[in-house]
Structure 1
């Protein structure tokens, strides 16, 4: 029986922090096993000049291709990614495990002055390269000037201090996981800035047929979280969602007095400078139907 496992990941601070979270959970659950982290340099890490948003170019696969190659070649046993950055389909021979407990999926505002978005003077300069975030910010502050912002968390925080930004928008999960929660000025309500599908969730990927890895990863997954993330990713797939597709989807679990699991689904799509939002509620067991109905309603609004 295998007792030594190698975990693949990018070498960024956030990627390593996320992998350490998984490693620590596994070490506590399997004290007789050893888990080693292997840092892998990806195409996206090497190319720091390409404007990934130009021409609709998606960053998905640029940060995973080399890691997936090592999985297929058996030089690593499994890999940890951010689920929201993963393509909708796995390469042949690779699969996802169940999803561990999710971190907070909300987006946050970090202000240079300490003021909230609503308190900033006229025409604030807000940093984000996300079309989804930019459109949502324009609804909250129509006078805001959206300025592109690229780089890892620490690079973006440095640019906020050194360059001409009044504030920036980031995912709370990354800040929390890297110990930078104290930088947050305010959390956005999910109905104001709807998160990207699967935001805050980890993705653990491994080679299909590897039952030993499957068994240990299944033991740390959360069944309900896995179902919810699958539904959010299905919403993204319906709209052919890449990193630069202006969509959002967030699902909240609600348990009623009969212990029936209900979900509240909020979806958005940005079209012709309009932010279209809809919300539906229903039993989790009918989640696929809810997601498809939500998408059809939004498509109807787009075509009006």
Structure 2
């Protein structure tokens, strides 16, 4: 995401404390769909077949031909889509911030530019989070047998719910398809609440512990490297708020492909990744609009979350 240096800003902590605003929950889309940077709008990636899972007759007599394996691969084209937003800031607001600077005798003015760019950046981030969540919580995204709809006594919030067993069974389902155990659990806020207070989970905790399970305890209990909780919300046109990730949990294998700078191979069975143009999102050059008498700040984000291996993930619906 954009930082202050990239948008040429220098925030004043004194005046910033005068602003009132709403907070936003944590975004987790990139932890489920890690970034796969690309330089062009479309890129072709070689998705390998299952040759490395098969057994071959490799025994060789002296002088005989060596067994040759022909690797099949699917050259799949992944594209990005462009998303842009503009935030106008009236010149009167900038004028008032200049007056505040003089009256309060502080070194720099109220950072109106930063307010505009942070707003634009957050809007782009929420839009991406919603798209990634919709992809990850749709049953059709997954291979057959990789979705479990919980109901009544099987819900993790029920006294008879068994999430440890459910996740262990799902882990085996994934392992038998991709040869690796899943390493990441992505939880909605509802799923997080149901899991950490669950009776089966509490049975693994020390008898002296009073509160619910922590993230680190759950990692140990469930044999996972990462547990992410998506707390973000969104508000529709009717002013009704809802959780971005709904009432779902996603178990998946997420490879470490972000920011390493090394070779990236889809032979690593990622559940998914996010194709993104290098340097995105980025700030557009601000301009002055005469009609609205406002300075307009824009930001653009070209990206698209994609599923690579539908067998590398497992969806739990309605855990709460």
Q: TM-score scaled to structure 1, two decimals?
A: 0.25
Larger Rg: 2
Q: Which has the higher helix share?
A: 1
Structure with greater contact order relative to length (CA < 8 Å, sep ≥ 6): 2
Q: TM-score scaled to structure 2, two decimals?
A: 0.24
